[in-house]
Structure formats: C-alpha cells, structure tokens
Amino acid sequence: MVAVVTGASSGIGREIARALSVRGYELILVGRNEKELRRTAGLLDGPSEIRTMDLTKKESRDSLIEEFAGADILVNNAGFGIFGDFLENEEGSAEKLVETNVIAMEHLFRGFLRNMEERGKGRILNVASIAGFLPGPLMASYYASKAYVVRLSEGVREEMRARKSKVTLSLLCPGPVDTSFSDRAGVRFGLKGMSATKVASYCVPRFLKGRFYLFPDWRTRLVRPFLHLLPSSLLAKIAMKVQRKKS
Ligand SMILES: NC(=O)c1ccc[n+]([C@@H]2O[C@H](COP(=O)([O-])OP(=O)(O)OC[C@H]3O[C@@H](n4cnc5c(N)ncnc54)[C@H](OP(=O)(O)O)[C@@H]3O)[C@@H](O)[C@H]2O)c1
C-alpha cells in the first residue's frame, strides 16, 4: 500500500506520514527540502522514498502522477500563507501561493483521482483550513486559496457520490497548528496552536474510514456552525480585528 504525501518535509505532512507509516503504508515523501525529507524518512517505521521537487513546476507534478499511478493514498498537503495588506504583498510571492495552494493542489487532485477511479479504489485527503470558511483580511490570498480547496472538494465529492465512486475524499480543516507555517507566513497566531502530532492522530483514522469533513480543533468544531449564520461583511470585520493582533 503506497501513500504519497506532499509537504512531507515538516509540520502536518510529516506527522501524517508518520501516522500512515505506523499503519503499514509505504510512504512517498514530497517536498523541496531534501534534508528535511530525509529527516522525515528517518522518523518512519516502514519503507519510504523521497521525491525532491517544487510542486509549482507542472513537469514535476506530471511525473509524480505518472510514477505513482497505482498509489492508494494522496495527501494533498503542501501549502503556505503570506501575511499583510493585499497591496503590499510581493507580486511574486502571491503568485507562488496561488500556484502552490490552488493550481498544484487541483492538478494533483485531478490526476490522482482519475487514476484511482480507473482502478476503483483509493483515498484522497485535501488539506484546507478553517480559513477556507471565512474572509481573511491581511491574509486575503491565503484564505481565498483555502476557500478554493473547500469548495472544489465539496463539489467533486458530490460528483463522486453521483457516480457511486469507490474512491474516498476527505477535507482536513485545521485551526492554528504549531508548525513552520506561521514563521513562513510572517504571522503570530491569536490562539494557541495544536500540535501537528495531534492533528495527525485525529485526522488519519477518520480519513482511513472515509470521513469527509475533518476538523481536528474542538474550538473550530464549536465555531463553525455560526460561520454560516453570520453575514460575510461582519465576519470580515471580526477577522480584521483578530488579524491586526497577529502582525
Ligand atoms: N499550521 C497551521 O496553522 C495550518 C492551519 C490550517 C491549515 N494548514 C495547512 O496545512 C498544510 C501544511 O502546512 P504546515 O502547517 O504543516 O506548514 P509547514 O510546516 O510550513 O509545511 C508546509 C509544507 O509544504 C511544502 N511546500 C510548500 N511549497 C511547496 C512547493 N512549492 N513544492 C513542494 N512542497 C511545498 C513544504 O515543503 P518544502 O519547504 O520542503 O518545499 C512543507 O513541507 C498547508 O497546506 C497549510 O496551509 C496549516
């Protein structure tokens, strides 16, 4: 049984890889930082291979989809955020964010799903965020990218249901998690972050049972129903107050 995990060089991806390894999966660890991918490999109980690649490169994604056409699992996790006023975000970094969180995520999702549908089995986990359910002033591109992951997954899930797909799809929506995410995004969390280990131990057993929504943080499980009740304009105002404290 083979599981491909993107963003396996740190944080949530590394811990999900560890949790899958304990359950007997052979891991394919994907990321750009070879040294850290090797570190992840060293933490695993079972076999693994490393694929060092920048997922914003289409050729890299194509080769991954082709090489692992028989994979049992895709954990579509690689992603990052950028903090700051939309007008002050460096153009290059905002573009890279969309290429990673949206374009690469969608390409891998479609490529692996197509192969799994042909074989009539497989599991895909798309990593979104609670940010995908809110407008996100001062992290607008990141929140919007995660809303894309949420809506894309919800829509495709319905298509899969309609064709009685044997493949399962899950959507991981963490709140704040203590990883290198905040340093890379240049932000401080307003709430205490969960550990990536706890996120993985909540997520992996439910993912392997085919559960769709996965909210590992009890605080976001509590808040989420109210997000649908409040108008977006009010949510944006509240989010702005919270985000201002993060700089
Ligand atoms: N931490 C949080 O609070 C939080 C909350 C909700 C959702 N999330 C989501 O969880 C996912 C994992 O984030 P994390 O918290 O674990 O942060 P992290 O520790 O910074 O991990 C991000 C991973 O993504 C990989 N990555 C980024 N760009 C890449 C690219 N172009 N090509 C290949 N790999 C790339 C990084 O690998 P390399 O550096 O080796 O390329 C790294 O392994 C992200 O999608 C993030 O949006 C995080």
Predicted local distance difference test score (pLDDT) of residue 244: 82
Per-residue confidence at 87, pLDDT binned at 50, 70, 90? very high
What does the pLDDT look like over 200-223, one tens digit per residue? 999 999 999 999 999 999 999 998
CA distances from residue 145 to 106, 116, 131, 230 in whole angstroms, order as listed: 11, 25, 9, 21
- Average model confidence (pLDDT) across the chain: 95
The more confident residue out of 246 and 23 is 23
**Rounded mean pLDDT, 129-157:** 96
Global pTM reads 0.97
Residue 246 has pLDDT above 80, yes or no: no
Tokens 């933490």 correspond to: 43
**Rounded mean pLDDT, 151-174:** 98
Residue 245 has pLDDT above 90, yes or no: no
Q: Ligand 1 pocket: which residues have CB below 6 Å?
A: 6-7, 9-13, 31-33, 36, 54-56, 77-80, 100, 127, 129, 174, 176-177, 179-181, 184, 193
Q: What is the token pair recorded at 204?
A: 């992996």
Overall fold of domain 2-244? Rossmann fold (3.40.50)
5, 10, 55, best to mutate for ligand 1 pocket (most atoms within 8 Å of CB): 10
Predicted local distance difference test score (pLDDT) of residue 153: 98
Where in the chain does DSSP place strands (E)? Answer: 2-6, 26-31, 48-52, 73-76, 123-127, 168-172, 177-178, 194-195, 213-214
Q: Are 172 and 216 in contact (CB under 8 A)?
A: yes
Predicted local distance difference test score (pLDDT) of residue 247: 67
Q: What is the dihedral angle through the alpha carbons of 199, 29, 112, 74, rounded to the nearest 10 degrees?
A: -20
Predicted local distance difference test score (pLDDT) of residue 186: 85
**Going by CA atoms, what residue is nearest to atom 41 of ligand 1?**
32
Per-residue confidence at 91, pLDDT binned at 50, 70, 90? confident
202 in active site: no
